[in-house]
A = this chain, B = another copy of it.
């Protein structure tokens, strides 16, 4: 494929000449041969630079080292916490140290919810502890906890279909499992029980709710994550069980009635400051290519795969571009979003704060699906611009990246901008193991493969450089 491409583009003299000097070194060091395409939306010059970026990114450990720095020097950084504030300081310092321009914090307010202590146990007939964690936003129990007989529902739908009476004084247990998939498509289904179980339980008079964690591992790590209450429905405390504990509860229930005690010492603390941290590589125009990850994490782990990885990948990709020492046509803006986990609060604040320049946002992509290799290039461009996507994909393909559909989300924090019409790209990562770690104490640096991060950095650097120097754009004309 590569060879064919090169043979069919012999007219591109200048680019070919530049490349020829680099080929022996690049091929020998990295096994990558630059490919040269005919000029179209991407100039030959851009294509050569993309090859350079891919090779330099694959040879660099910068992405991983940024993740290492964030997870070590800050650790967890829950939305609204003092730790998230320290993470913003870290972000500003990191951007400045790397040479980014216009470095700033764009503040906004967020509701801060805090976990103090949590505990659950089977009281009878088989007394034993259960590993649980409160879902974000849950109300607390009394200090003495809440005790009740367990009523199990195999799925959220089963609970939704249950009568509105009959659960008074009970603890509802929604045992719905999550399907392991490469593309994360199991999450959307499984997460409904995290959002909705408390309201369904409260509606039916239950005193608390437990869910099987939204996750794919078999370790004793409960997975936290944001939940929601419904208006006019009693608020009941809700926690997630680790998968082995959900199994245990299921086995215990198969022997008869089970009483469980749940103690959640958690509190909603009111408004706190959060913020998006922004750094730029100024371009020749006021058009913007926006990439980033989210700076906040849940409080249990150190937020390595969620989303230290996204921060490391996108900051390093921009730094690779900076090191080309060539001013891009468009400004490259890297955003470390705050308060993603609690409802895309930073993303919404960004869209609001930047509404006057929304039409300058040419394309956006967030990395927020761990640190697995990118395997698919997904877009959401105007139909008439899909030819550009094909050209871009040809330069990404050597990284092992397939062409995906034109239905990309762009990542969670691109949602508000996408909904306002911004074209987006998803450099889809392999998420096979992502939900083993997601929102658990086990989300730590040792789970990340530096080589996979480098491949991500290469894909982002290539995508961003192409987007920043493209003749056209991705919107409908």
Contact = CB atoms under 8 A, between A and B. Distances in A.
A220 interface: yes
A277 interface: no
Interface string A202-227: 00000000000000001111000000
A66 to B, nearest CB: 14
A445 interface: yes
Contacts of A301: 220
Interface residues of A, number: 33
B441 A251 contact: no
A460 to B, nearest CB: 25
Contacts of A442: 219-220, 244
A128 B445 CA distance: 14
A364 to B, nearest CB: 31
A428 B76 CA distance: 42
Interface stretch (A53-61, A67-75, A106-114, A283-291): A67-75
Contacts of A383: none
Contacts of A76: 128-129
A83 B244 contact: no
Given A220-B221, A302-B128, A244 B72 contact: no
A357 to B, nearest CB: 36
B219 A72 contact: no
Contact of A444 (B72, B122, B248, B255): B248
Task: Tell me the number of copies of this protein.
Answer: 2
Contact of A244 (B68, B128, B129, B446): B446
B128 A220 contact: no
Contact of A126 (B72, B128, B252): B72
Contacts of A447: 218
Contacts of A129: 75-76
A131 interface: yes
Contacts of A127: 75, 83
Nearest to A77: B128
A336 interface: no
Contacts of A219: 219, 221, 442
B75 A244 contact: no
A441 B75 CA distance: 23
Contacts of A252: 72
A247 interface: yes
A350 B278 CA distance: 69
B73 A126 contact: yes
A199 B72 CA distance: 30
What 8 A-B pairs come out closest when comparing CB atoms?
A75-B128, A244-B444, A72-B251, A220-B441, A218-B446, A220-B442, A244-B446, A73-B126
Interface of A: 68, 71-76, 83, 122, 126-129, 131, 218-221, 243-244, 247-248, 251-252, 255, 301-302, 441-442, 444-447
Given A75-B127, A247-B445, 6 more contacts: A72-B248, A75-B129, A76-B129, A219-B442, A220-B442, A243-B446
15 contacts: A68-B251, A71-B248, A72-B126, A73-B126, A74-B128, A128-B302, A131-B441, A218-B446, A218-B447, A243-B446, A244-B444, A244-B445, A244-B446, A248-B302, A248-B445
